[in-house]
Amino acid sequence: GENVEQHPSTLSVQEGDSAVIKCTYSDSASNYFPWYKQELGKRPQLIIDIRSNVGEKKDQRIAVTLNKTAKHFSLHITETQPEDSAVYFCAASENAGNMLTFGGGTRLMVKP
Amino acid sequence: DTEVTQTPKHLVMGMTNKKSLKCEQHMGHRAMYWYKQKAKKPPELMFVYSYEKLSINESVPSRFSPECPNSSLLNLHLHALQPEDSALYLCASSQEVGGPQPQHFGDGTRLSIL
């Protein structure tokens, strides 16, 4: 089955700095890679996703890059704000069952 | 924002009780999911329903019994749970199962087993 590794497990940045979270996956059949943000006591919220036919996708301060050859993908947050503080999960899935396999999560802390 | 509604928000039950968790979506999604999330861990898939039929059961113990009465509703019936079953239970939905489809989560039910 799929295995997704996520690093770092915790990340502390100063407000205004950039944050980068990296994930690797094992199953070459995986072709969909969403990122979720989960604030304490709240639902995982889909913030951006990328499909395997695309190398990069941006949405305002958030971007995701995908390297299919190396089987890794990354989340980039620029100009971080305190409200970006949360746990971020990457995930991977392949076509047939839409089953998401999640990485272990990254706790991002943005210091004002 | 898309919405998946889960009730109750919190549930405390004894090991001999029977209770049910409910999930509802009105987005016309045909795939619905149950996940279990322990503290400081990622969500773990339990069940997948596609067009109201159970399509995936991730080797979940029989004390958890899912039910999909119609395309908008998903229940999780609980019986004879163990303390280690205490967790956040999340429901999600997507348009369909086939093909990469974004999954949208509800707020979850926080379950405590005494």
Find the closest chain B residue to A41 by CA distance. B107
Which pLDDT tens digits describe chain B residue by residue (114 residues)? 559 999 999 999 998 889 999 999 989 999 999 999 999 999 999 999 999 999 888 889 999 999 999 989 999 999 999 999 999 999 999 987 777 789 999 999 999 999
Mutate which of B30, B44, B101, B109 to test chain A, going by most A C-beta atoms within 10 A? B101
Average pLDDT, chain A: 94
> Which of A51, A97, A103 is closest, CB to CB, to B56?
A97
Gap between the Cα atoms of A32 and A70, Å rounded: 15
Going by C-alpha positions, the residue among B50, B54, B59 that lies closest to residue B101 is B50
Q: Are the C-beta atoms of residues A12 and A84 closer than 8 Å to each other?
A: no
Task: Kindly identify which residue of chain A lies nearest to residue B98, measuring between CA atoms.
Answer: A96
Residue burial A68-95, b: 16+ Cβ < 10 Å; e: rest: beebbbbbbbeebeeebbbbbbbbbbbe
Q: Residue B98: list chain A partners with CB under 8 A.
A: 95-96, 98
Residue B84 has phi, psi (to 5 degrees) of -70, -10
Rounded Cα–Cα distance for residues A26 and B86 (Å): 30
Tell whether A46 lies on the interface with B, counting CB pairs under 8 A. yes
* 3-class SS string, B35-69: EEECCCCCCEEEEEEECCEEEEECCCCCCEEEEEE
- DSSP state, A61? T
